[in-house]
Chain A
Amino acid sequence: MIALPVTADDRRIARYTAAAIALTIAEAALPSPLPGIKPGLANIIVLLVLLRHGWRDALWVGLLRVVAGSLLLGQFLAPGFFLALAGACASLLTLAAAVRLPRRWFGAVSLSLLAAFAHIGGQILLARLWLVPHDGVFYLVPLFATAALIFGSINGLVVAQLVAVVPAPTFPLTPPEVHSS
């Protein structure tokens, strides 16, 4: 039998990812006026992980929740999956740069706004290059940008609140009892 060693890092990432997936699933149940306009609640978790544990962990959580979330929703490898992946990659790359902004001046709301705009940017770029090879997609940019502004701000405020109120991880990181049968 092959045993893969599980580190504390793995457990932490898995738990945060589970929370992000839960929010992804919950959000999929919400009606949306336009495909692609969503609150992006899972990004709250990604930003929280970024501020607490750094970009590497945020990258894991951000990508894992796209893959696992799409598997659970039956969207894996469907166009929506690639759009979500493009959005997640764009926002994670942006966050890699944005996290270097002076923390004294720029808080979670800045990170969240930049990530939200990068998210729609990545999605629209992929849609333009692949799904709808026509400039007509740019017609929707103002609507997506408005959604990014609103949800980016709200998510950022939620993250700022969480970071301020719960400064350190409070959940137990000890491995749960595993019963092999």
Chain B
Amino acid sequence: METVIKTRTIKDKLIFEFENSKLFLFGSTQLRDNAMESFYKQGIPTRKHEEYKYTRVDLMLKGEFDFSTNKNCSDAQIQPLKFLKDAYVVVIENGVFVEGSSNVENLPKGLTVCSLVDAEKSNSPVFEKHYAQYADVKTDPFIALNTAMTKDGAFIHIAKNVIIEKPIHIIHISTTSVNTIIHPRNLIVIDENAQAKIIESFETISATAKTVSNALTEIVVDKNAIVDHYKIQDEKELGYLVNTTQVIQQRQSVFSTHTFTLSGSLVRNNLTVVLDDEHIESHLNGLYLTVGNQVVDNHTVVDHRKPNCNSNELYKGIIEGKSTATFNGKIFVRKDAQKTNAFQSNKNILLSLAGTINTKPQLEIYADDVKCSHGSTTGKLDEAKIFYLRARGIGLVNAKKLLMHAFASEVVNTIKIEALREYVEEKISKTFE
């Protein structure tokens, strides 16, 4: 007699793991149960799912997975990833805060940097007020899954009127030797009239197996606050990253975010910025360089809910090899949001015949007195420019490199931290080698 063993799907395995590891999961039971139920209803998106049709997240979740969050790498290995010499550094390894590797001692007054676990333990009222309030589990299965299964991450709070000049750098590292799924989560709260610069980088160190990182960051930008936010995604071939960034902005605040996708087998960004009051300014910049079989998908939502706000979005990409890049930019202008200015631009250079670009602007405008525009272009490198450079003695390869740099520079130049700009420029140069 034969025994039939039913293969469990990844969804089953996630639910099994959820039930089994309840003691180690983060957040209130009710919140997690609710999130898991929502995940169960939504399931893993397939290509039939409108929001995921260009990015086969279901394929990246095939095979066996582990859920461990063990620490594997040494401080010496982490050191080179601290590329900003003068910064407060938070290290999150395999989804868990590593105090020993972080540099968060002697924090100035008004700045809190700690793990989510510690924030909860200390009964921080800021944490209690804001945790899991913005990324809605019903809107996306990865938000639901992260909310249900996260174990830890960073909590950053900048108190009212405080200006933190040094950048705060959150380093996410995956260091696994078996296929692993992790769910790191950060909460960043910038109070009224405060200012901060925050960098999130995503890296792998000596990973020998696939890591699927389902990372989520919520950012609260209170009245008059000014926040500069950067994501540097560089997880190499074994990295699979679904990165949700949920931002809420209050009156007269300015929020700028910059997403640099430099490597990774699959990177899916879900960036949502909600402009929840008047006189808000939002900037969304992005640059993706894709090679080989890479898949990079940027989904952005700019939600204008109130009048007199400005948003400006610029995403650029250079696509090589058989890689696929997707840009889907939604702009909502709600009924009340009169006098909105909302601009969006997506420009791509396609260097190979086998590469694919999907670009889709989506404007939904319910107010009548607004200025909105969007545009997208996909082209090759300009032959006239190449010839001009060659006519001065610059070889074809370098001429193309110069032009790719020039194309990327419009986004790179929006980086306000000099050391970070240099770091990104160097990374881009290496990509073009």
A, B bound: no
